[in-house]
Amino acid sequence: MGNPIFIPGPTNIPDTLRRTIDIASVDHRSPAFVDMLRPALDGVKRVLEMRAGETVIFPATGTGAWEAAITNTLSPGDTVLAARHGMFSHRWIDLCQRHGLNVQVIETGWGNGTPADAFEKALRADREQKIKAVLVTHNETATGVRSDVSAVRRAIDAARHPALLYVDGVSSIASMDFRMDEWGVDIAITGSQKGFMLPAGLAIVGLSERAIQATETATCPRCFFDFAEMIKSNCDGGFPYTPPVGLIRGLNESISMLEAEGLHNVFSRHHRIAEGVRCAVKAWGLKLCAREPLTQSDTVSAILVPSGYDANAIVAHAADKYGVAFGTGLGDVAGKVFRIGHLGMMTDVMALSGIAAAEMVMADLGLPIRPGTGVAAAQEHYRTSCHALLSKAA
């Protein structure tokens, strides 16, 4: 018997999607594959809210999409601007450095979001326009912090700077509001195993016209992740190599499920569930790693444990005794936070079970938590804010 998992990716896989991806081999040079690929690429465009540009899908994960974004549009020695405020923003910076880019890093402190004002300052100071791209981790999964991408776009525009804007939306896209065109995002990246509720295996990328143009002059070596080759093959109805057909079929079905619910409703559901978790955290007398309420993520909550307690022990005990998976603290916040992932296939009632499990674990380990307090606070929130099922019936 399995419990839902509460890690911020991979997320719980709906039965429908498990059945959809379980297919016999398909000849990927046959029309059957073409009929699957084009709707998936178009569907991703709708989820990203983009009209112009292209979407591409690689057999990889979010990390592969980071690499694809960098190698296709930049040249060794190019400068990029990024803030470091968690494990994922840190790892993207590291990946850039290993590709020979010069990363201008703004250290922001774990628990904070991307500082649009500091970015504007850095861009204004860059009179020679050395900065070619600005990187934003939309949702820092390690700390549960959401950054304001539109504020970064305004900062770039205010500085009248031509830098491109790249956004890691791995743990936000398809769960939280994302607007490629409106925010002027040039490259958006995600993976299949978070908001899309599939197993890991697809690196999903949205490209603006400007990002596609940048591939013409970029000299970083790339082969497997070549955007131009992929776009050309896709136009001819195929793939440059063997595509992960089952997952692409699953992506179509996932997008159908998201659109049947309505993307707006998907985002409100994530917000409501996250608010319930935040009510529970407050009732426990604990604090989130995300300092500002406006930056608190709707897909993952990183909860600070009181000093003297080990957050890793909470995660280990939850797995050992109750068979429930929570996320550990990564990097600078290792041992200090545990994370409840609440994205993808998640309902109010599923979230309540995660909150209840966390309470049992903390009580077992002697934390000053009274079991039931968090659950009650979340129940109250869900009872008063959930109208979705009622209105559906009407």
Which residues in this chain contact ligand PLP in the complex, by CB under 6 A?
9, 61-63, 88, 137, 139, 141, 168, 170-171, 191, 200
Of residues 95 and 376, the one with the C-beta less far from ligand PLP: 95
H helix count then E strand count, the chain:
14, 12
- Closest contact distance (angstroms) between CB of 170 and ligand PLP is 4
Distances (CA, A) of 31 to 143, 156, 283, 298: 44, 43, 56, 39
- Three-state DSSP class for 62? helix
- Closest contact distance (angstroms) between CB of 263 and ligand PLP is 19
- Three-state DSSP class for 54? strand
Residue nearest to ligand PLP (CB): 62
Lateral strand order in the sheet of 287-288? 287-288, 300-304, 337-341
Return the closest-CA partner of residue 271 out of 382, 164, 186. Answer: 382
- Closest contact distance (angstroms) between CB of 184 and ligand PLP is 20
- Closest contact distance (angstroms) between CB of 201 and ligand PLP is 9
Dihedral angle over CA of 151, 154, 160, 161, nearest 10 = 40
Return the closest-CA partner of residue 351 out of 276, 293, 295. Answer: 276
- Closest contact distance (angstroms) between CB of 320 and ligand PLP is 24
The answer to whether 305 touches 285, Cβ cutoff 8 Å, is no
Of residues 63 and 215, the one with the C-beta less far from ligand PLP: 63
**Residues paired with residue 103 on neighbouring β-strands, in sequence order:** 80
Of residues 167 and 283, the one with the C-beta less far from ligand PLP: 167
- Closest contact distance (angstroms) between CB of 271 and ligand PLP is 18
Return the closest-CA partner of residue 136 out of 122, 121, 150, 125. Answer: 150
Phi, psi torsion values for 207, nearest 5 degrees? -125, 130
Distances (CA, A) of 256 to 135, 243, 315: 30, 21, 34
Give the integer Cα–Cα distance in Å for 76 and 9: 32
Of residues 298 and 348, the one with the C-beta less far from ligand PLP: 298
Return the closest-CA partner of residue 303 out of 361, 364, 346. Answer: 361
Identity of residue 186: D
- Closest contact distance (angstroms) between CB of 63 and ligand PLP is 3
Of residues 80 and 170, the one with the C-beta less far from ligand PLP: 170
- Closest contact distance (angstroms) between CB of 187 and ligand PLP is 13
Strand 337-341, strand 79-84: pairing: unpaired
